[in-house]
Structure 1
């Protein structure tokens, strides 16, 4: 299992960050330019990654003000889990950890680890900017 992680501090209370991340319609604001054909509801999202694949994901679980777990809702090119973990830093700020766990063989790991790390970093950076 390949684990990719990105962390950020968001200058908003944990409940506001959780409310934003809990609704998958908001996640379009976190995506890089190579994501298109976006459609989403609160619990599911569909999109295309340029030159790669179409993905459909859904919220598997929400733990109030602590964690959101997102998994594929249809067959994906590889097993993957997206996890947002939140912690109240006090003073109205929130520590956010975005973890992508992907079951990649050696060849896929060489091809996909860099883009997945860029995606995680981009999303945490955008989260701090848009929430």
Structure 2
């Protein structure tokens, strides 16, 4: 299953945007309002939970400055990745799009497609003010 957020414009350079997303503790600022738990576990790993959903642990898997950050599931039953693609518009402006990629059975994919799509859209939208 592949989902993409809308592209958002961030009034920071690609490097500044990359640096923000490279620090996993900054993801707390991007989370939706219905977050019930956020905890940094290691320099490159954090746990979060949304109300009514199981806890999810994400770990930074890849970082290619200043254009790409890849977070992946760390443990748990589901294997997926969340990629932040950063494109330079000009020296002080960048465009970010989040991409969710995971392998799920058809039933699971139907159940989580809506909530995951809304989640990555919220993360992207919150970037415009948090970064």
Q: Shorter-chain-normalised TM-score: which range? A: over 0.9
Q: What residue in structure 2 maps to residue 99 of structure 1?
A: 99
What TM-score do the two structures reach when normalised by structure 1?
Answer: 0.92
Distance 2:111 2:47 in 1: 22
1:4–1:101 CA contact under 8 A, matched in 2: yes
Three-state SS of the structure 2 residue aligned to 1:84 is strand
* Matched position secondary structure for 2:76: coil
Conserved? CA contact 1:12–1:92, under 8 Å: yes
Contact 1:22-1:42 within 8 A present in 2 as well = no
Does the alignment pair 1:129 with 2:129? yes
Q: What is the RMSD computed on CA atoms of the aligned residues?
A: 1.2
Gaps of 5+ in 2: none
Does the aligned pair in 2 maintain the 1:10–1:94 contact within 8 Å?
A: yes
Q: Name the counterpart of 1:90.
A: 90
Matches within 5 A, 1:22-101: 22-40=22-40, 41-76=42-77, 78-101=78-101
Task: Please say which of residues 56-65 and 33-42 is displaced more in the overlay.
Answer: 33-42
List structure 1 runs of 4+ shifted beyond 4 angstroms: none
